[in-house]
A and B are shown apart, each in its own frame.
Chain A
Amino acid sequence: EAQVTQNPRYLITVTGKKLTVTCSQNMNHEYMSWYRQDPGLGLRQIYYSMNVEVTDKGDVPEGYKVSRKEKRNFPLILESPSPNQTSLYFCASRHWDRMNTEAFFGQGTRLTVV
């Protein structure tokens, strides 16, 4: 089954404690991206990657890092989380060279930073 898998689904952490949210896809997609969802703002892109070792900033990259060492995995790293990073996070993948293909989304990770 084609899917994007994120872990964990729920996470509560304290300010400043480094964390990683993992994302894996099994569709051999070149393009992967991370979004955060906040009420009334829709989904905003944090970072994206067009292929292995190619990453770039999205609209709200501050406080986040990513890496793309393998095609299937695209972890999101928060080196020093702060309360304003409390949000619902989604990983997505799609073929990058076909504009009209849809993105496939993970189930989401609800992060609370206290």
Chain B
Amino acid sequence: AQSVTQLDSHVSVSEGTPVLLRCNYSSSYSPSLFWYVQHPNKGLQLLLKYTSAATLVKGINGFEAEFKKSETSFHLTKPSAHMSDAAEYFCVVSDSGAAGNKLTFGGGTRVLVKP
């Protein structure tokens, strides 16, 4: 069975400072991992994905994430937060053992960016 834990439900940062969103996963097989962002009253947009190629994955809007198998982690980072980064972020896992290649979501991390 697969599962995802996002370690912080809320993160508050000042504009221009780094952002770190933590994600740990559990998977019985080689997983694919994704980060999605949800802005208020919007659908979910893909930020980046890990698919067993490079362990450091670069995404849109300056975000990147590093897959660490030994730590079962896939933390999301951005060097310098912008006001437009205020949103909710979801870490998602999919593995080949899940029925229908199911996506399993973490509980989400809401990011507040202070001016």
B80 within 8 A of A: no
Interface size on A, residues (CB 8 A): 28
Is A42's CB under 8 angstroms from B103's CB?
A: no
Is A48's CB under 8 angstroms from B108's CB?
A: no
Is B44's CB under 8 angstroms from A99's CB?
A: no
Is B100's CB under 8 angstroms from A90's CB?
A: no
Partner of B94, one of A43, A97, A99, A106: A99
Kindly provide the distance from the CB of A96 to the nearest chain B CB, expressed in whole angstroms.
6
Say which one of B14-22, B46-54, B61-69, B70-78 lies at the interface with A.
Answer: B46-54
**B-side contacts of A90, CB under 8 Å:** 43-44
**A-side contacts of B99, CB under 8 Å:** 56
Interface residues of A (CB under 8 A from B): 4, 31, 33, 35, 40-45, 48, 50, 56, 58, 90, 92, 94, 96-100, 102-103, 105-108
